[in-house]
A and B are shown apart, each in its own frame.
Chain A
Amino acid sequence: MSPQVTVAPEQFVMVAYDAGEIAEMVRDLSAQIGIANPVSVEVDERTPLSKMSASVDGTSSDATVRLIFESGALENTKQLTTFGAPRARLSIGRMLLRASDRLSGRFDAAPDDLELTNPQNAAWDTYCGGRLQRLGLEPVEQQYRYDFRNRFGFGDAVDADFDRLWAADDLGWSDFPTVD
């Protein structure tokens, strides 16, 4: 079932993005991930940075999923200010997986996305990255590994943690590693 999707702003003025294209991408990825809830997408086009967050206002099937992106998260890094579909699919997919995790009840103890520490963010991103790959998207595993190492350290034990998260499909918040 295709969810109801809204995108703000409806017209972009600082970047060449199309709200309809973003909405279509969200609908397509939601179907792949199994989210039927309504989705609200907000893009901050004032900044080229790429922070993003996902939240849900409940756990019922009509709870709204709210995704917020800084414009860099959806951008073509070869042609700045234009929409980059491959990058956008990965960013949106990552946030939809997080929303799906939150809807599952296994992440009730997780702080809001904007309150997550950098290591918590990296661990969750790794867990999402592996699942995106198995959904047929093309995340660059080495990028995720490098992010993970930056947050947890450069060593074999950290790499083993990364591999475990990358390969997993049914983790909960308490399964994530913490920084010593």
Chain B
Amino acid sequence: MTSDTTTPADTDTPRWLGWPRRGWLRLGGWLLLLIALRLVLAPAEARDPATSEELRAAVSAASEWMQRAQSAHEDGRYLYLYDPARDAAIDDYNDVRHAGVTMALYQAAGRDSDLEALAAADRAVEWMTAHLHRRDGWAALTDVHGVRAKVGGTALMVVALAERRLATGDPRHDALMRELGAFLAAMQRPDGGFLVAWEIPAGEPDRIGTSRYYPGEALWALALLHEAFPGDGWDEHARAASIFITTRRDDVEGVRFQPLADHWAAYGLAEMAEWGLSEPEIEYARRLAGRFGFLIRVEMQRAHGLFGGPGRLLREEVPASAFGTWIEGMSALWRLSTADERMADLRPAIEERLALGAGLLARRQIDAAGASGYADPELVRGAWLSGGLTRMDDQQHALSGLLYASDAIEGRTNRSPDVLLPSPGR
């Protein structure tokens, strides 16, 4: 038998510790590649799943923040943008976000059976009804100056009123909902998309501007209108909007990384699931789940990656107003996955992403101890900060996202409250 101490075949090859130097260098190259991949592409992710109790507690805390934030104004508006370090409210307001926060407040009121939240949301509706523009049988929510009525604001006002209807069973705003719906229908283009706004002084729509998200908001509003008033024909407008969003919107809007992470469209599709969705709509929903999944995974890596995650070197954590929308969208797609078998194979992955992502979002909420160091802890407790500031829609999107993520964790497929709230003055 030949000895194992044979002279190396290539004695000219430089060696370190008996192995070819090139081999060591090659090994070092692979190790460097793996380290770089670990740092950049595959850092450790947040892997601590949320419990539904934890998420519902965060929802209640966010709802309470909204109620306290409304006390800063007497007309039903909320505190819009707040710098807690300087205890300063930044002077600005946005009607679309006002409607969105009100929607979230109704959602929390219904699920928490919280009459104070209901009353606060009703005050916010009074602000909106005082900012309506009526014409040709329709009504639209205007901006704070009363010069422009945006499709997005009106759509979210419809959603807010629909949420109130679901929470209370109270039909008092039915006529207004139909008027607002008529505005959305009037603003719908022949391709199913929407003109962006009505210019009140000019008495005509803005035919130049576009919005990436207004079509999704309008879609959900129209779908909810059909659910509330099944015989009115709102489903035809909703279907046209859905076909536009799922097949054309991203191209029309020049979205480079498609599909656009549109949680409003996800809500709309989930609402329409019982009507039956077409293959293009389902194909879009599947791609959308991938987009939300990717965004949530990246955020999970940012917080817990090696050396804090590479993203931490580049920018702050994303605001809750963005992170919350990803959780909202994924939650809506979870609901769709329970209603349409063509989405069922994605359900386990969606549930895992929701449990982990929602847990991360909930744990970023400022609790009482964290708020105690600020000049006005009451305006910080229950909020999410980004860049040292909190904007009211941070709480809106986080609240809605966490509420519906808790549904996914519990396996609760019905989005409506179980018990109707008594509506004041009904």
The reply to whether chain A is a binding partner of chain B is: no
Q: Using a CB–CB distance below 8 Å, which chain A residues touch chain B?
A: none
